[in-house]
Amino acid sequence: MAEQAVTTASFEAADRHLRKAMPFEHLLFMSLGTIIGSGWLLASVRVAAVAGPGAIISWIVGGIFIMLVALTWAEISGMLPRSGAIVRYPQLTHGSLTGFLIGWAYWFPVTPAAEAVAVLTYLSGRFPNAGLTATSQGQTLLTWPRGILSGVGFMILFFALNYFGIRFLSEWNRWFVWWKIVVPVLTFVFLFFAFKGSNFHIYGGFVPKGPGAIFASLSTTGLIFAYLGFRQALEYGGEAKNPQRDVPLATIGGVLIAIVIYTLLQVAFLGAINWHAAGITAGNWTALTSSHWASSPLYSALSAASIGALGAFGTVLIIDAAVSPTGTAWIAMGTATRTFYGLSVNKYFPNIFQWMSRFGIPWVSLVGSFVIGLIFFIPIPSWSAMVSFITATTVITYLMGAIGLQTLRRYCPELPRPFRLPQPWLWAPLSFLAAAMLMYWAGFTTLANTFAAIFVGLPIYGAYFAWQKGWVHPVVGGVISIVFLLAWVWINHMGGWVLTTSATQLPHTWPFPIYDIAFSADVIFFCVALWLASSAEGRTHIQRAAWLIFLLLASFPLSYWGFLGPLAKPAINFPWDTLIEVGIGLVAYFCGSLSGFATEEIQAILESRGMKVGNEPMPLLPSIFGNGRRAGPAAGVPSAGR
């Protein structure tokens, strides 16, 4: 029990080693500095290719969805500001297996690599003879050695910028963000000089591919990726001067500013499309991504306008193609570093990842983020493939905001909340569904890679974490983990969808129904076997993650048969597949909300503030569920010191 007391205390004390150096404007600029990255430079043409003029609605809908997610996180982050927040809250409210799966999903440090690829992709559009990129199967890829080694050089730059400390990072980021705000604003102003209203109505109408295309464009084009920076204020919560006030304001403010900028940019780009200059038939929206405009769409639109001042501003865009992604990437590498740090605080990784440099940076975590980020240049050196993966893994982590809020409302009613979300019975499920739908709309190919990457981390939980906690015998946990891993590798090899960047299954592989059954059976085997081998406390943590595993496994086959699957004729068309996913999401939401419990970490936080665990009525449909009973020690999870 003494060891458990130390563990729970470390959760509360870990951030004391971090420097409280960031005021509100720096937090806001950290969010904006990541939001305004490569997304605005490259996503406009891809969203237009999928949704046509309906892309305008796509940006607004995407921003609203992200705002719904941000609202729930804003309450939690203001109440309990933590660095590495998004990977630490899940364990706080739903136990270790949920925390591990969410943390593992969020841990993949792909964003810095994606931003490096974005810089090189945009530059290759302006300097095609540089040999930085090549096209394969409709995807723009970095070439070897010139393109990939250039990407490695950018990663080294991002590493150095992070190493010299949070004060250096936040001070310099302010000037980068001013640049990154001014240039997009000037871009949509100048593009309006080349505006042609006919692009909005004569080429198939405002929604030429139907309303489903608006939703299909959200997660597959880089649109949601362009909004993901809102989380930066949450991630740096432990380093804020006044986190209770500033973190929620910076989170919400960053999203609102981004919605305005991105929507105006998309309107201006659509109006400035010159079909002849792009080398494609007028009205062929899909062909935009295979045209020579795809690598540098905004620059190409300005150049095609044949107005001297606009062409001169195109040079500024080329400069910004290096500045904006670079500013985003160095912040994103800092976020990945704090994710490593948060996973170590949660004891999923060794304590070495909490070691601090003299600049106040967890330097071992920074090295780990750098190395893992480099690995992603090997299988998918493509911006569009990387951002699809990033979007899917990240929005899965956003599921926790809604149900974490409900759990903390229930068991921590006395904790101060600078921002208190009104009517959580309405906004919390909407937030959860927003994240679930963004996950589903990522499409089957992306989800196949994403789910495989998430579940492949389970052996670490079974063979390392559960053993370290004393919940399972090390030999038994190791055997279960090895059997699962060997089966996982074989199943995904035979499935033929993992590590592919197109919607084409590899030859000589299983039909999807067989693959899906084997995929699900292996995950269920691991959970059931580990549950049987675990102590009562370990079993509780596995049970509390059932809602998340259900959501992922139930969404997977639907994504195959639905309108974003690989079938030429989907078995379940839009909107019916989307409505089914909404039903799956609601079941997962209610189960997840009821699965939250008063973990040891919650009890340690409350005890450190002289408070007791509450037992408030569940703040969702209280007339149905009534007063829930506390699921902490009474549910088989011993509290610290008992």
Is residue 488 assigned to a domain? yes
Please check whether residues 351 and 370 belong to one and the same domain.
yes
Same domain, 452 and 563: yes
Specify the number of domains making up the chain: 2
Question: Can you tell me the distance from the alpha carbon of 169 to that of 327, in angstroms, rounded to the nearest whole number?
Answer: 10
Render 297-349 in DSSP notation, one character per residue: HHHHHHHHT--HHHHHHHHHHHHHHHHHHHHHHHHHHHHHHHHHHHHHHTTSS
d(CA 56, CA 262): 9
Report the number of secondary-structure helices (H) and strands (E) in the chain.
29, 2
pLDDT at 399 over 90: yes
Is the same domain home to 420 and 538? no
| Residue-wise DSSP of 389-448 | HHHHHHHHHHHHHHHHHHHHHHH-TTS--SS--S-HHHHHHHHHHHHHHHHHTT-HHHHH
At 511, the pLDDT band (50, 70, 90 cuts) reads very high
Does some domain include residue 10? yes
Burial-class residue 97 by CB neighbours within 10 Å (0-12, 13-18, 19+): buried
Mean pLDDT of the chain: 83
pLDDT of residue 3: 43
Query: For residue 287, how many other CB atoms are within 10 A of its CB?
Result: 16
Q: Supply the pLDDT for residue 486.
A: 97
Contacts of 554 (CB under 8 A, 6+ apart): 584, 588
Q: What residue numbers bound the domain in which 496 lies?
A: 443-597
Task: State residue 310's pLDDT score.
Answer: 64
- What pLDDT is recorded for position 110? 73
pLDDT at 617 > cutoff 70: no
Q: What one-character-per-residue DSSP string does 518-545 give?
A: HHHHHHHHHHHHHHHHS-HHHHHHHHTT
Inter-CA distances, 80 with 20, 355, 471, 592, Å: 15, 23, 28, 20
| 215 shares its domain with 287 | yes
The amino acid that residue 322 corresponds to is A
Distance CA 503, CA 385 (A): 12
The alpha helices in 207-242, defined as continuous H runs, are 212-220, 223-227, 232-235
283-297, 397-411, 582-596: lowest mean pLDDT where? 283-297
Distance of alpha carbon 176 from alpha carbon 170, whole angstroms: 10
Query: Cβ(534)–Cβ(462) under 8 Å?
Result: no
Over residues 313-328, the mean pLDDT reads 77
Instruction: Please say whether the beta carbons of 59 and 262 come within 8 A.
Output: yes
Are 328 and 373 found together in one domain?
yes
Average pLDDT for 411-431: 88
- Say if CB 555 and CB 582 are below 8 A apart: no
- Asked whether residue 635 is domain-assigned, the answer is no
Give the per-residue pLDDT at 6: 41
> According to the model, what pLDDT value does residue 316 have?
83
Given this model, what pLDDT does residue 344 score? 80
- Alpha-helical segments (H) within 441-575: 444-455, 458-460, 466-468, 474-495, 512-533, 536-543, 546-561
Q: Which of 90-99, 100-109, 564-573 has the lowest mean pLDDT?
A: 100-109
387, 111 Cβ separation under 8 angstroms: no
Averaged pLDDT, 61-72: 92
In a domain, 637, yes or no: no
* Residue 555 predicted with pLDDT over 90: yes
Do the Cβ atoms of 372 and 131 come closer than 8 Å? Answer: no
Contacts by residues 16-21 (CB-CB < 8 Å, ≥ 24 positions apart): 17/354, 17/356, 17/360, 18/83, 18/166, 18/238, 18/239, 18/360, 19/165, 19/166, 19/167, 19/239, 19/360, 20/239, 20/240, 20/241, 21/166, 21/167, 21/170, 21/239, 21/241
Mean pLDDT of 19-27: 73
Tell me whether residue 184 is exposed, middle or buried, using C-beta atoms within 10 angstroms of its C-beta: 0 to 12, 13 to 18, 19 or more: buried
Residues 559 and 625 in one domain: no
Structure-block tokens of residue 279: 């080398």
Nearest to 173 by CA among 324, 284, 285, 41: 324
Return the amino acid letter for 597: F
Q: Is the pLDDT of residue 405 over 90?
A: yes
Q: Given a cut of 70, is residue 629 above it in pLDDT? A: no
Percent of the chain exceeding pLDDT 90 equals: 40
- Contact by Cβ (8 Å): 396, 360: no
Band the pLDDT of 238: cuts 50, 70, 90.
low
> Considering the domain boundaries, does residue 636 fall inside one?
no
Structural domain contains residue 159: yes
3-state secondary structure of 498: coil
Same domain, 292 and 383: yes
More confident residue, 16 or 509: 509
Same domain, 356 and 464: no
In-domain check, residue 634: no
Q: Are residues 55 and 70 in the same domain?
A: yes
156, 195: one domain: yes
* Highest mean predicted confidence (pLDDT) among 208-217, 237-246, 471-480: 471-480
Closest CA to 430 of 16, 135, 64: 64
Across 144-153, 235-244, 384-393, least confident range: 235-244
Q: Comparing 115-119, 360-364, 500-504, 521-525, which segment has the lowest mean pLDDT?
A: 500-504
Q: Are 413 and 535 part of one and the same domain?
A: no
What average pLDDT score do residues 313-329 get?
Answer: 77
pLDDT at 505 over 80: yes
- The answer, yes or no, to whether residue 634 has pLDDT greater than 50, is no
Q: Are 372 and 108 in contact (CB under 8 A)?
A: yes
Amino acid, single-letter form, for residue 283 = G
- We report the CATH number of the domain holding residue 11 as 1.20.1740.10
Instruction: Judge whether residue 241 has pLDDT over 70.
Output: yes
Residue 190 within any structural domain of the chain: yes
Q: What mean pLDDT do residues 287-305 have? A: 86
Q: Quick check: 159 pLDDT over 70?
A: yes
Q: What is the mean pLDDT of residues 525-535?
A: 97
DSSP letter string, 367-380: HHHHHHHHHTTTT-
Nearest 5°: phi and psi at 22? -110, 115
Residues 48, 175 share a domain: yes
pLDDT of residue 574 exceeding 50: yes
